[in-house]
């Protein structure tokens, strides 16, 4: 793979192992000091090609996605309702529900049991908001994305891989839409 034309960002941190990220469609290399960029790019060439192909597919599909236009008030009501339903289903309890704009996540669950939902999720169809909330509440049972976590997810969302892909597609669709509206 020719890396001269490949755009990527490099962050040098005091980490033990290098890692590659493509969470938002941009390739990011997180490297320990002194670690060669070319070395990690060459070592993970196959993975990078596969992921970039996936990103390009998602970018194309994002052009056809219809995003929801709802107020924050409407969105918060939907989230509160879905949190109640999913807490009952999973037999867990969340402490607080917080809303903020997040750079690369749809949601998170803190150690204190607080759920944070990305404000831009208000543009998603309700079934994807439901999935995000269920996913975060499932972390109250299992913190890691391991087999146990996947089995919890599959109790309600057997098609979770499709939903994860759809969330990735919507990430681009929403970002494209918000960029357009800022230009107006």
| The pLDDT value given to residue 104 | 86
> Is the model's pLDDT at 1 over the cut of 60?
no
Q: What is the mean pLDDT of the segment spanning 141-146?
A: 96
Half-sphere exposure (Cβ direction) of 148: Cα atoms closer than 13 Å:
7
Confidence of residue 23 (pLDDT cuts 50, 70, 90): confident
What residues are paired with 109 via a beta bridge? 115
pLDDT in tens, 37-93: 888 898 998 999 898 899 989 999 999 899 999 999 999 999 999 999 999 999 999
Q: Cβ-count burial of 16 within 10 angstroms (0-12 exposed, 13-18 middle, 19+ buried)?
A: exposed
| The pLDDT value given to residue 8 | 87
> Is the model's pLDDT at 180 over the cut of 90?
no
pTM for this one? 0.84
CA distance 153 to 93: 17
> Is the model's pLDDT at 136 over the cut of 50?
yes
> Is the model's pLDDT at 115 over the cut of 70?
yes
Judged by average pLDDT, the poorest of 1-10, 98-107, 131-140 is 1-10
| 107-116 own/partner pairs: CB under 8 Å, 24+ apart | 107/132, 107/133, 107/135, 107/136, 108/136, 109/136, 109/137, 109/139, 109/140, 113/140, 115/83
Mean pLDDT for the chain? Answer: 91
> Is the model's pLDDT at 182 over the cut of 60?
no
| The pLDDT value given to residue 107 | 97
> Is the model's pLDDT at 110 over the cut of 80?
yes
């Amino acid at each position: 793979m020719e890396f001269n034309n490949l755009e990527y960002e490099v962050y040098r941190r005091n980490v033990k192992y290098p890692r590659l990220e493509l969470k938002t469609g941009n390739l990011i290399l997180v490297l320990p000091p002194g670690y060669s960029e070319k070395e990690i790019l060459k070592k993970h060439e196959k993975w990078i090609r596969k992921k970039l192909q996936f990103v390009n597919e998602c970018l194309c599909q994002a052009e056809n996605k219809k995003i929801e236009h709802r107020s924050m008030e409407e969105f918060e009501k939907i989230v509160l309702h879905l949190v109640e339903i999913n807490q009952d289903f999973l037999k867990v309890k969340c402490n607080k529900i917080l809303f903020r704009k997040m750079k690369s996540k749809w949601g998170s669950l803190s150690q204190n049991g607080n759920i944070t939902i990305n404000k831009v999720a208000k543009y998603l169809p309700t079934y994807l908001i439901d999935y995000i909330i269920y996913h975060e509440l499932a972390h109250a049972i299992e913190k890691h994305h391991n087999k146990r976590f996947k089995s919890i997810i599959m109790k309600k969302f057997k098609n979770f891989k499709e939903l994860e892909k759809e969330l990735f597609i919507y990430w681009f669709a929403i970002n494209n839409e918000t960029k357009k509206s800022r230009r107006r």
